[in-house]
Amino acid sequence: MNPATFKLDRRVFELLKDGDFQRFTIRSLRDAYARQLHGTISDVELWRFIYDQVHRLKRVGWVQQDPERRRRDQVFHVLEKPNGLIVSLVQHRLYNPLNEPQSEENEKIAPPKVLSELSSTRRLESLAKEIRLDMLTALGEAERYKQLFTEMPALRARVEDDYIEARDRSSRLLGHLRAIENTLKMLVAA
């Protein structure tokens, strides 16, 4: 079986390989990411994006949560890239080059509506695959946590918060997936 490709935001990757972020919090990573953005974006949306990126990195073993658990400003540590992990650096939608000033030449070349709908469809299909994979991972994680504290009740207090977090994440991802699939159906029907 071929190893799966792990998609990672280019700016998150660049920040994490910087020596200043070998030990970080989601807040510090979000603030550094925000300083690099052109245009405006809500802190909440950016926090969710960074949170998802960090937890995806944690699942593949590239980032480790500090042993000291905190409710706020949890510390994470960057580890070596896992062997066999194929990384694909992507430009995330939060980085919108349309927010940057454009030259007159760029304004003259506008893509036809058909091409933009086709690229939108491809982008949505790609996003749906990524979200489906993340959702299945979160579902499996929640299922395993529940199984652990069912089989070993002594672990319940330690893993119940992680179980609830994984379950909630899978529910949110299911909502995202439904929204994207409905949008795709609408685009195909048009």
Q: How many residues does the chain have?
A: 190
Cβ distance 51 to 27 under 8 Å? no
The chain-wide mean pLDDT, for the chain, equals 81
Cβ distance 159 to 145 under 8 Å? yes
How far is C-alpha 97 from the geometric centre of its chain's CA atoms? 20
pLDDT of residue 112: 47
Q: Are residues 23 and 58 both part of a single domain? A: yes
CA 42 – CA 111 distance, rounded (Å): 28
Is 31 part of a structural domain of the chain? Answer: yes
Choose the final residue of a domain: 90, 120, 152.
Answer: 90
Is 126 part of a structural domain of the chain? Answer: yes
Confidence class of residue 109 from pLDDT cuts 50, 70 and 90?
very low
Is 78 part of a structural domain of the chain? Answer: yes
Q: What is the mean pLDDT of residues 143-164?
A: 91
Q: Are residues 81 and 126 both part of a single domain? A: no
User: What domain range is 182 assigned to?
Assistant: 112-189
Provide the number of structural domains found in the chain.
2
pLDDT at 75 over 90: yes
pTM, rounded to two decimals = 0.50
Among residues 64, 70, 56, 77, the alpha carbon closest in space to that of 138 is found at: 56
Cβ distance 53 to 8 under 8 Å? yes
pLDDT of residue 100: 43
Q: Are residues 13 and 85 both part of a single domain? A: yes
| Structural tokens at position 146 | 């529940």
pLDDT at 56 over 80: yes
